[in-house]
Amino acid sequence: MSEHNDLAPMREQVYRDPRPKEYFDRFHEHVRTHEPNWVYEAVRVGASLYAYTLLRTRPISVENVPGSGAVILAPNHFSFMDHFLMGCFLRRKIHFMAKSQMFKFPLEWVFYKGGTFPVRRGARDEETFITAEMILGRGGTVAMYCEGGRSRTGRLADEAKPGIGRLALESGAVVVPIAIHGSQRVRNWRRLQFPKVTVQFGEPMRWEVLEGSTREQQQTVADQIQAEIKRLYGGLEQYGRKGILRRLREQAGRGTPPTTAPTSAR
């Protein structure tokens, strides 16, 4: 039996949100003008306790996330917990993107106060990019999934969506690829099965600002980010948490230089 066949089923996906764009304008406006408040910290603390204990979540190379300046966090996406599994190790407040269908009472109140903004999938949602670029423009942190939505198979997608490439090129922000290993089994909690999760933060990547980038250029950048996520994830699959930590210590002992990151998409 495949290791992915014993995953708890996910709810049927609703791709399009029938609500008009105007319904979500207030969420964008608030995130553009306010930083996350105490609600963000309260949720982070609660999620961290769950992650540290039941999920035994541990980070690798969290120091790769710059302490200041514009940053795009780019993890793989298996679980609703991925937001929290990534954020619980960072003191920086992260602005998350979430599909618009999740913006319903009472969760939308938490999103409003916690700095999360909506993505209307399948609607060419320019407001999402405007909001993300405004956050990055003031030196903030935005999380964006290369694959667009959650994997429903428990496997990494073969190809990235071009959106993260567009955001990287238009903002010039540092991109930190992140591999979250084990989170596809978080939804097995109903079976009292709790996975061991590892979150590995990769070497920062950055591209020069390229105004008016083509979809092909955006896709090229997105694929490069996705390739690095796959490399990190593959290492965790092959060597495990302890094995990766041992290899990183050995590299540090030999003085092996970090992976050279791209500086231009041209």
How confident is the model over 6-22, as pLDDT tens digits? 655 555 555 689 999 99
Stronger pLDDT, 124 or 222, i.e. the higher one: 222
In a domain, 3, yes or no: no
Total count of domains within the chain: 1
Answer yes or no: are the C-beta atoms of 99 and 121 closer than 8 Å.
Answer: yes
Query: What is the pLDDT at residue 53?
Result: 92
Query: What is the pLDDT at residue 60?
Result: 96
Q: How many Å apart are CA 183 and CA 24, to the nearest integer?
A: 29
Q: How many Å apart are CA 90 and CA 44, to the nearest integer?
A: 10
In a domain, 238, yes or no: yes
- The mean pLDDT of the chain is 88
Q: Model pTM?
A: 0.88
In a domain, 262, yes or no: no
In a domain, 77, yes or no: yes
Please tell me the least confidently modeled range out of 41-55, 179-193, 230-244: 179-193
In a domain, 261, yes or no: no
**3-state class (DSSP) for residue 97:** strand
* CATH (domain of 240): 3.40.1130.10
In a domain, 12, yes or no: no
Of the candidates 175, 114, 113, the one whose C-alpha atom is nearest the C-alpha of residue 144 is 175
In a domain, 191, yes or no: yes
Of the candidates 160, 171, 176, the one whose C-alpha atom is nearest the C-alpha of residue 232 is 176
Q: How many Å apart are CA 81 and CA 143, to the nearest integer?
A: 13
User: What is the DSSP track for 157-213?
Assistant: -SS--THHHHHHHHH--EEEEEEEESGGGGGGGGGT-----EEEE---B-----TT-
pLDDT tens per residue, range 141-150? 999 998 877 7
**pLDDT band of 156, cuts 50, 70, 90:** confident
**pLDDT band of 2, cuts 50, 70, 90:** very low
Question: Residue 67: is its pLDDT beyond 50?
Answer: yes
54: CB partners within 8 A, 6+ apart: 189, 194
Average pLDDT over residues 167-182: 96
Q: How many Å apart are CA 176 and CA 229, to the nearest integer?
A: 9
Question: Residue 266: is its pLDDT beyond 50?
Answer: no
Give the domain range for residue 209: 21-254
Phi, psi of 28 (to 5 degrees): -65, -45
Question: Residue 195: is its pLDDT beyond 70?
Answer: yes
Average pLDDT over residues 254-262: 61
Of the candidates 162, 111, 160, 164, the one whose C-alpha atom is nearest the C-alpha of residue 136 is 164
Return the exposure string of 200-223: e unless at least 16 CB atoms fall within 10 Å of the residue's CB, then b: bbbebbbbeebeebeeebbbbbbe
Question: Residue 190: is its pLDDT beyond 70?
Answer: no
User: Prior bond to 106 cis, omega within 30?
Assistant: yes
Q: How many Å apart are CA 42 and CA 104, to the nearest integer?
A: 20
In a domain, 58, yes or no: yes
Query: What is the pLDDT at residue 4?
Result: 53
Which tokens belong to 3? 């290791």
**pLDDT band of 253, cuts 50, 70, 90:** confident
Question: Residue 194: is its pLDDT beyond 90?
Answer: no
